[in-house]
Structure 1
Amino acid sequence: MARIGLIAVSDGREHVHRRNTGFIQSKMDAFAAALAAAGHEVVAGGLVAANTTATTAARSVAAAGVELTVLYYAVWAFPQFTMLAADATPGPLLLVASTDPAEPGLVGMLAAGGALDQIGRAHTRLWGAPGDAGLIEDVGAQARAAAAVAALHGSTFGRFGGRPMGMNTAVANTDQWMRTFGVDVEEIDQYELVRRAESGDLAKEAGRGREWLERYATVHYDGDRLTPELLERQLRLYLAVRDVAAERHLDFSGIKAQPELTEHFATADVAEALLNDPYDWNGPKPVHVTATEADMDGALTMQLLHLITGTPVLFADVRHYHPDRDVWDLCNSGQHATWFAARSDDPAENLAKVHLYPEVFFFPAGGASVQHIAAPGEMTLARLSRLDGEYRLQLMLGEFERFDESTTAELVSRSTPEWPHAFARLDVPAATFLSGFGANHVHAVPGDRRREVRVAAARIGVRLEEWRR
């Protein structure tokens, strides 16, 4: 959850403020308790009834490293206090009004918000009873989005390799990334991964990983494209990425893989799946968002969604549309994290639904493809892409479906059975999607997280393009 600064704004007349103090404090306490119960850390800035306290309270809250500052209005409040507090608070600002008719909290918020509008200070407004569940969830969405955007700033993306197979949508302008998102890009040659993977230092650990996969997943060795030795090579590649990420302080990554690794070393499918998983054979671990084909905008979208939700993020090609079922087959090599097979915190439960198949003819170096059918449920799908050089965030709601065994087999056989699939019903007409979607890759997280994504787009300053039927 997020760290939220909370400041109550009051009337500047001393005798009025003295009369209102108990009322304001009771509303503030109830609001703070509801936020804390929802899992947020609340940093209290106190009650503001003078110019000096407006500035000092805001500076104190900002110094505590809050991701969102909330100015709370339970009564009529002098608008200049809000102006001074806003000036002392560089981060995202949310105005919240109590709707108790006993006091004019709404009036105070509107007067303050109008004053902020006049100087162009960005802010958001919400209102409701202090313990209202809808209000608390809305504040939480604002806070989670603000925290995600703040976490992007100052982070580093590690790009292993360059542009894959002529894919312009996978390559972004590093200057634009720093200006828009505050993200630096560290360029790393793929040979560094090969060098480390072949050094022998990682052999014992990779052997443990192979045994773990053999125990919990179904591994289809064929003695040619997939052997124990090739699987261990893929696991050493995974460990090499983790080591480089730790040494160079990479927050998220992308691996080109095609064609050099896939033709001469091994596919990166196992590495990419495990990097995006919240576990490996050593137990729980942080997700290290990693995009296949070194897709920079894909990785950036995934990192933003991960920071908002805390869950792994699906990476997939928009492979095929089945008009008779109004279902999309989202499929891309072995990139899908194994977590999506059952969306369980228990890796054994997920891996029980995972098959490691020999890679297909596209990748002559061989190795395993991580195959499964994504678990059903509501999903939020999104993608950052560029239109005429400017970023936009395309957003839609969807539903992953799982069919009976024979139907699933028939559907996957139409494309590439060895690869992972997510069968998605999207809340957008197929013609609209195919005519306007800005890439061949799409990304998804469980649940309806559109509120947070909308707020994040506004915080970043990119245009939101949201689709519905």
Structure 2
Amino acid sequence: MSKKVAVFWPGDYRAKPNEWALPQSQETTGQLVAALKKLGRTPYVVEGYLTRPDQSIAKLGPIDDPMVGVYVHWTYAPHTVDGVVGKDNPLLLASNFSGTWPGLVALLNTGASLESVGRASSRVWTDAPDWTADAGFMERLDEWCTTGRITYDSGEIHDGPAVAADAAAISEQVLAEIRRKRILALMLGDTSMGMINGYFGPRLLYPIGFSEHKVDQAWLIERTKQVSQQRVDDAFQFVQDRGVTFHWGAQDATDFTADSTREQLRGYLAVLDLLDEFQADCLGWQYQLGLLKLLPPSDFAEGLLNSHARPEGNGHVVITSTEADQGNLVPMELMKRVLEAKGLAGSVMFHDVRWGAEHEGRWLWVLLNSGSCGAYAFNQDVSSLNGVHSYRQPAGYFPVAGGTFAGESLPGPITWARTWIDRQGELVMDLGRGESVSLPNDVREAWWGGTTRQWPFMAADLGCSKETIMAHYMSNHIAVAYGDIFSEMVALSRSLGFKIRVLSTGQPA
């Protein structure tokens, strides 16, 4: 492999997140350059953040040397993919494994996006203060420098196991419902922020029993004006009566007021009207970036839709996937149907795999996403919104004031899932069992405050190692449900024609 190595910075489209992350980008690049030099390589840095696809094409496209992308904050996948697709020079995605900014989230999303378009890449990460002193990291970097790729242990990746008769019966019940009436997903826009791995389209959706109907989310600008003030007032009273705690007018969020929440509820009601008009079963909501300066954030509305107790509701959740990510929308809707077929609450949470750490000898992931986590995670009461806190979305990301739908997830057994596109263009269902874990107050607050305190929080054991998630997981997003519906999801996924991967420390049963 060439001694010369290009180092580049994929970035956010928005200027403020790049500005916030600049010190980490510089520090991480310094560590990476020192490590490459120690291995006898000659690294050079591509100037500036790549903040648009055209910049990726212009700056990365001409490079034939091996390349390393630096991921320390959220970056859009096209800011890497569009410049490297169609090429075969060795490509490495490197992260500082920090929760401060969602760099790990960007690495996982970019890695999955590259996989979906058949572009080979490797991943490497470390949280060591001195990267050159991390023997495991240096060994992997040396492997990449020598061979152009890194091999990872795949011993925790399994095929789907045999399924017991009772689980198969539940699966057949859900399958029969889908065959009687296919699932219609209302898509408010396409996937947001460059999530190449999050859009499937009709060719992949039709065979698994789904259809999509796209509505330009610009409709919401006009549709919100049709929502009466009385409906907004009633919804506002509902969320207060059911227990939401609003943090209006906090010191760092003086523009977040009760009127901000009312406008978010107006958006929620407009979306309810669209769901009713098209008789849709579930929802993918782009929101970012197109509505950032036009309407308040969608997160509070998304949280309500994913809750049983909601204004003008029927006691059931409307599965809602933030960022219009169909890779989460599909398993979330299937999980909801399995849960309800078993007589359980049909609540499924949407999260980012944000960061992780060891606690009492156990590796736990911080699952954290700004929207689409319902109230059931915080109270396990289908009639209540207790435990929900609404903080102002950080202004650097969301210029129009509006609140989140946050809380601390309760402990308990979980089943998790994700759908992704492999190199053959086929859909794969990743599945696993795990546990939501209750942390001591000081640990929880340190982890939460070290990520984004305004967003919903879950500390989760995903039933497999850190290594397996970092090396093999094909998304930044994950769908999580309380209870054990693993076997039913294996059977249903198999019947619908998915390839199946089970991520587990032991042989799944």
TM range (shorter): 0.5 to 0.7
Distance 2:208 2:313 in 1: 32
Alignment-derived partner of residue 320 in structure 1? 355
Distance 1:253 1:352 in 2: 24
Distance 2:371 2:221 in 1: 19
Distance 1:276 1:352 in 2: 14
Distance 2:289 2:233 in 1: 26
**1:447 Cα deviation from its structure 2 partner:** 1.3
Alignment-derived partner of residue 119 in structure 1? none
Alignment-derived partner of residue 265 in structure 1? 295
Partner amino acid, structure 1, of 2:204: Q
Q: Which has the larger radius of gyration?
A: 1
Alignment-derived partner of residue 422 in structure 2? 387
**1:285 Cα deviation from its structure 2 partner:** 2.4
Alignment-derived partner of residue 424 in structure 1? 460
2:188 to 150, 160, 184: 160
Q: Are 1:280 and 2:310 counterparts?
A: yes
**1:456 Cα deviation from its structure 2 partner:** 0.9
Larger proportion of helix: 1
2:228 to 197, 202, 215: 202
Kept in 2: contact 1:318–1:442 (CA 8 A): yes
**1:335 Cα deviation from its structure 2 partner:** 2.1
Alignment-derived partner of residue 437 in structure 1? 473
Alignment-derived partner of residue 389 in structure 2? 355
Kept in 1: contact 2:183–2:210 (CA 8 A): yes
Distance 1:202 1:321 in 2: 44
Deviations 1:387-413 (A, max 9, x none): 111111111111001223222211100
Deviations 1:283-334 (A, max 9, x none): 6522211100001121111001111112110100001111355110100003
Kept in 1: contact 2:308–2:383 (CA 8 A): no
**1:125 Cα deviation from its structure 2 partner:** 9.8
**1:281 Cα deviation from its structure 2 partner:** 4.1
**Residues 230/176 of structure 1: CA separation in 2 closer, same or farther (3 Å cut):** same
Q: Secondary structure at the match of 2:273?
A: helix
1:396-415 aligned within 5 A = 396-415=432-451
**1:224 Cα deviation from its structure 2 partner:** 4.1
**1:221 Cα deviation from its structure 2 partner:** 0.7
Kept in 1: contact 2:208–2:497 (CA 8 A): no
1:221 to 225, 228, 248: 248
Deviations 1:346-403 (A, max 9, x none): 30xxx33221111112111120011101111000011111111111111111100122
Kept in 1: contact 2:198–2:420 (CA 8 A): no
Distance 1:234 1:339 in 2: 20
Higher alpha-carbon deviation: 400-409 or 222-231: 222-231
Distance 1:466 1:219 in 2: 39
**1:242 Cα deviation from its structure 2 partner:** 1.1
Distance 1:208 1:406 in 2: 38
Q: Are 1:454 and 2:454 counterparts?
A: no
When the two structures are superposed, what TM-score results if normalisation uses the length of structure 2? 0.62
Distance 1:370 1:125 in 2: 38
Partner amino acid, structure 1, of 2:203: D
Partner amino acid, structure 2, of 1:426: L
Alignment-derived partner of residue 39 in structure 1? none
Distance 1:214 1:225 in 2: 20
Alignment-derived partner of residue 149 in structure 2? none
Kept in 1: contact 2:209–2:496 (CA 8 A): no
Distance 1:171 1:376 in 2: 32
When the two structures are superposed, what TM-score results if normalisation uses the length of structure 1? 0.67
Distance 1:155 1:335 in 2: 19
Deviations 1:82-113 (A, max 9, x none): xxxxxxxxxxxxxxxxxxxxxxxxxxxxxxxx
**Residues 426/372 of structure 1: CA separation in 2 closer, same or farther (3 Å cut):** same
- State the identity as a percent: 25
Compare relative contact order (CA 8 Å, sep 6+) and give the higher one, 1 or 2.
2
Q: Are 1:345 and 2:373 counterparts?
A: no
Q: Are 1:143 and 2:166 counterparts?
A: no
**1:338 Cα deviation from its structure 2 partner:** 1.2
| Structure 2 segments unaligned to the other structure (5+ residues) | 1-160, 341-345
Distance 1:449 1:408 in 2: 27
Q: Secondary structure at the match of 2:291?
A: helix
Distance 2:292 2:329 in 1: 20
Alignment-derived partner of residue 202 in structure 2? 174
**Residues 422/244 of structure 1: CA separation in 2 closer, same or farther (3 Å cut):** same
Q: Secondary structure at the match of 1:156?
A: strand
Kept in 1: contact 2:187–2:285 (CA 8 A): yes
**1:282 Cα deviation from its structure 2 partner:** 5.0
Distance 2:503 2:313 in 1: 39
**Residues 424/225 of structure 1: CA separation in 2 closer, same or farther (3 Å cut):** farther
Kept in 2: contact 1:152–1:304 (CA 8 A): no
Q: Secondary structure at the match of 2:263?
A: helix
Distance 2:177 2:350 in 1: 21
1:72-221 aligned within 5 A = 138-153=164-179, 154-178=182-206, 180-199=207-226, 201-215=227-241, 216-221=243-248
Deviations 1:164-205 (A, max 9, x none): 111111211312211x21321101011222211123x33212
**1:248 Cα deviation from its structure 2 partner:** 0.6
Kept in 1: contact 2:411–2:437 (CA 8 A): yes
Task: Supply the RMSD in Å over aligned alpha carbons.
Answer: 1.9
**1:436 Cα deviation from its structure 2 partner:** 1.0
Kept in 2: contact 1:319–1:328 (CA 8 A): yes
Partner amino acid, structure 2, of 1:314: M
